[in-house]
Amino acid sequence: MKILTPFSLELTSKIEKFQSLAKPMNLGKIGFSSRLLLAPMAGICNLPYRLLMEDLGAGGTVSELISCHGINYGNQKTLEMLKIDPMEKNVGIQLFGEDSEAMARAAEVAESYGPKFLDINMGCPVSKVVTKGGGSALMREVKNLAPMFEKMRSGMKIPLSIKIRTGWDSNSLNAAEILKIAHESGIEWVAIHGRTRNQQYTGLADWDFIESLNETKKLPLIGNGDLHHPFGVSERLQKTNCDALMIARGALRNPFIFLESLDPNYATQKRSIFIGKDYWEVVQRLHTYITQTFTEERAHLVQMRKLIVWFAAGFPHAAAFRSQIFNCQVLEDTMKLTEDYFLSLGESQKFINYDEVFMSSGHG
């Protein structure tokens, strides 16, 4: 169980103001504390980050993708990735692989680590994964899906979900067919990133396509893609027929996005009540979680640096701060630089340029 760095009364009251607007919901048998969930992200959605996002209003979280073969070989690094903290309320573990037997064996191991649900990665576009038949390549071999789902389900007690794309390419938009197979094979819900595999991260997520699936769906659907800022999320939340929404990249530059998006009036103002001082408190809590999770100083530094720099995006002098941080090799000095920077910001507002491309690759 992790020990918390307490937030100040001021930050706590800001958080509570938004959290009171969250509507708990169910996906199948599982209850979530809000309709806004953190999407899985490789190299990011580890235990400390997931915990922090739950503290900051994410209704549920999913681990980064974890190899079924790594689990079955007993690879130490892979098994570390399965660990969950008792403080994590609504967490799922995402597995990837292509072989039903291997996925089913890995699912039994993953379940023993105590997640609320398991998820299958069917959206990863990365060549290394799809050439072996995993990730979004699973969407091309539709006939193999029901046997895989059923095989995995037979050894599991917790729900199984899938995360897909709209299809492999624009000529094979088969998400609706996959939803039907999923429903018939005991999958509890489906999350969909509104792009094809071939699009990778180019173009825009096709929300008309996602919404059209809601007309015939027989199981809960989570919409995902390009929900980068609170006003966009809040707008989508009000008009969507999806049961829930998932946010990935938007949470990297704005850790308060799950909270801010809950208030439609606030979110359209395009101004935030969260200032540098609040970000410093968030960084300190992250530091505590990471200290209690990773024993290796280098891993700790790498994790802290990338998140600190993303959190600073859009604040004054963020570029200069970023290069200072990347030139600093000592964790303690990194924390001091971060404290000085965020506290020097006073009441300054954060202005992110959402037209700029931000992270155009990933595993789903």
Ligand X SMILES: Cc1cc2nc3c(=O)[nH]c(=O)nc-3n(C[C@H](O)[C@H](O)[C@H](O)COP(=O)(O)O)c2cc1C
CA angle 259, 158, 243 (to 5 degrees): 40
Nearer to ligand X, 42 or 106 (CB): 42
Nearer to ligand X, 92 or 276 (CB): 92
> Would you tell me how many other CB atoms lie within 10 Å of the CB of residue 329?
10
Whole-angstrom distance, CA of residue 150 vs CA of residue 26: 23
Whole-angstrom distance, CA of residue 275 vs CA of residue 33: 25
In the shown chain, the binding pattern of residues 235 to 274 toward ligand X, with x for contact by CB under 6 A and - for none, equals ------------xxxx------------------------
Residues in the chain: 364
Catalytic option among 45, 124, 242, 328: 124
* Interface of this chain with ligand X, residues 30 to 69, rule: CB under 6 A: 39-42, 44, 64-65
Nearer to ligand X, 307 or 345 (CB): 307
- The least distance separating ligand X from the CB of residue 31, rounded to whole angstroms, comes to 22
Do 201 and 172 contact (CB within 8 A), yes or no?
no
Residue 224 has what DSSP assignment? E
| 68 is annotated as an active-site residue | no
CA angle 191, 254, 227 (to 5 degrees): 35
Whole-angstrom distance, CA of residue 364 vs CA of residue 315: 29
Nearer to ligand X, 11 or 148 (CB): 148
- The least distance separating ligand X from the CB of residue 345, rounded to whole angstroms, comes to 26
Nearer to ligand X, 105 or 236 (CB): 236
Q: Sheet containing 160-165: give its strands across.
A: 36-38, 244-247, 221-224, 190-193, 160-165, 117-122, 91-96, 61-67
- The least distance separating ligand X from the CB of residue 257, rounded to whole angstroms, comes to 10
Does 167 participate in binding ligand X (rule CB under 6 A)?
Answer: no
Helix (H) or strand (E) holding 166: none
- Token output for 66: 């974890």
- The least distance separating ligand X from the CB of residue 5, rounded to whole angstroms, comes to 26
- The least distance separating ligand X from the CB of residue 362, rounded to whole angstroms, comes to 2
- Token output for 261: 């998006």
Q: Which of 48, 92, 97, 123 binds ligand X (CB under 6 A)?
A: 123
Q: How many residues bind ligand X (CB under 6 A)?
A: 24
Give the residue numbers annotated as catalytic, written as ranges: 124
List interacting residues with ligand X (CB under 6 A). Answer: 39-42, 44, 64-65, 94, 121, 123, 163, 193, 224-227, 247-250, 359, 362-364
